[in-house]
Amino acid sequence: MKTLEESFEAVLAGKKPQNLYEPISYILMQSGKRLRPQLVHFAVDLFDGDAEQAQLIAMAFEMLHNFTLIHDDIMDVAPIRRGKETVYKKWNSNIAILSGDALAIMAFQQLLKLDCDRELILEIAKVFAQTSLEICEGQQYDLDFETQSAVSIDEYVNMIRLKTAVMFAGCLKSGAIFAQADAESEQALYDFGIHLGIAFQLADDVLDVYADSPAFGKTIGGDIRDNKKTYLYLKALELAEPAQRKQLEELFAVPTVNFEEKYQTIRAIFDALQVKTITENKVRQYVEMAVADLDKVHVAEEKKSALKSLALKLIDRKK
C-alpha cells in the first residue's frame, strides 16, 4: 500500500501549470502530524473496512486541511508554518488563493475515486462538504471575534467546534460510513471527534501561554501577542475584578508594543484567577465526554483502546 506522500505525489505528477501545482506539492509534502488521516484510518479499522481504499478518504481530509491552512495564512498574514515559509510568503497571495482553491477541488476528487457502493460515496461526500463549509464558518467567526468587543464563552467554544473539531468528527464519521458501521456508532464517533477536537484546542490555548518553551514548537504567548480572545482570556474576563478587567481589555485593545511586559502582566492576571487550572479542568471534561462517546461505538473494548490512547496523548502533548 502506498504511503500518503506517495499517493499525493502520484496525483500531482505532471500536472500543470507549475504555479498552480507546485505550492500544493510544497505544502502537502511537509510532514504535519497527519492526524486527520490517522483518524480516518482508526475509524475504518474499527469496523474492518478496506484500508487501501480508505486512503482516498484520508487524502481528501488531509488535502482539505491543507487548503484551509493555505488560505488561513493569507488571511492571518502569516510568514511561517511548521518552520517553513507559508505558500503566501514563498509565492504570493494570488497564487496562494488559486492553489488553495485547486487543492480543495482535488480533495473532493479523491472521494469520487472511491470504488464502493455509490450510496456510501454520496453519504461520505455530504459529510465532507458539510465539514468543509463548517470550517469556513468557524474561520469567519474567528476573524469576526478579532474586532467584536464582547465574545461569550459559548460563542468561542462554538467557533473552535467549527474551526477545528468538526474536521476530527468528519474524519471519524466518514471512515465509519465507508466501513459500513451502524448509524449509532457513526454518530458516536462524530461526537467523540467533536469533544476531542474542542479538548485539543482548549489544551492548545493553555500551552500557548504556559508551555515549556523548548518543547513547544511555537513562540510562547503568541495568542497574547496577537490579542487572541482564547478560553483563558475569556474566562479571566468573566472572573476578573474591575481593575483586572480594565487591564485585560486595555492591553488587548491595541497592537502589542512591549511583548515581554504584556505577556507577564496578562499571565499574572491569569495566574491570580487560576484560569490555567480552570481551562485544564474543562479540557478534562471534554476528554471525559469523548471517552463516554466511545461507549456507543459498537465494537470490542480492545479495539477502542487505540482511540482512547490517541485522545489522551493529544491532550497531554507538550508541543
Which of residues 75, 150, 215, 272 is near a copy of itself by CB under 8 A? Answer: 75
The least distance separating a copy of itself from the CB of residue 227, rounded to whole angstroms, comes to: 16
**CA 54 – CA 111 distance, rounded (Å):** 9
| b/e map 41-50, b = 16+ CB within 10 Å | bbbbbbbebe
**CA 188 – CA 292 distance, rounded (Å):** 9
Contact call for residues 191 and 286 (beta carbons, < 8 A) = no
Cell numbers at 109, concatenated:
476528487
Which of residues 112, 150, 215, 272 is near a copy of itself by CB under 8 A? Answer: 112
Which of residues 29, 51, 80, 133 is near a copy of itself by CB under 8 A? Answer: 133
Measured in residues, the chain has a length of: 319
Which amino acid appears at position 214 of this protein? P
Stretch that binds a copy of itself, among 107-115, 212-220, 291-299, 309-317 (CB under 8 A): 107-115
Q: Does 71 bind a copy of itself (CB under 8 A)?
A: yes
Q: Does 25 bind a copy of itself (CB under 8 A)?
A: no
Which amino acid appears at position 96 of this protein? A
Q: Does 102 bind a copy of itself (CB under 8 A)?
A: yes
- Residue whose C-alpha is closest to residue 260's, from 225, 312, 291, 290: 225
Q: Which is nearer to a copy of itself, 9 or 76 (CB)?
A: 76
Q: Which is nearer to a copy of itself, 129 or 268 (CB)?
A: 129
Cell numbers at 255, concatenated:
497592537
User: Rg of the chain over CA atoms, in angstroms?
Assistant: 20
Q: Does 66 bind a copy of itself (CB under 8 A)?
A: no
Q: How far is CA 185 from CA 27, 172, 180, 189, 285, in A?
A: 33, 10, 10, 6, 21
Q: Does 256 bind a copy of itself (CB under 8 A)?
A: no
Q: Does 141 bind a copy of itself (CB under 8 A)?
A: yes
Which of residues 130, 213, 305, 309 is near a copy of itself by CB under 8 A? Answer: 130
Expressed in percent and rounded to 5, the helix, strand and coil fractions of the chain are 75, 0, 25
Q: Which is nearer to a copy of itself, 17 or 214 (CB)?
A: 17
Which of residues 4, 78, 116, 143 is near a copy of itself by CB under 8 A? Answer: 143
Which of residues 28, 39, 59, 106 is near a copy of itself by CB under 8 A? Answer: 106
Which amino acid appears at position 88 of this protein? Y
Contact call for residues 161 and 194 (beta carbons, < 8 A) = yes
Which of residues 104, 206, 290, 297 is near a copy of itself by CB under 8 A? Answer: 104
Q: Which is nearer to a copy of itself, 63 or 290 (CB)?
A: 63
Which of residues 11, 78, 98, 239 is near a copy of itself by CB under 8 A? Answer: 98
Please give the residue ranges that form the binding site for a copy of itself (CB under 8 A): 16-17, 19-20, 71, 74-75, 93-95, 97-98, 100-102, 104-106, 108-109, 112, 118-119, 121-122, 125-126, 129-130, 132-133, 136-137, 139-141, 143-144
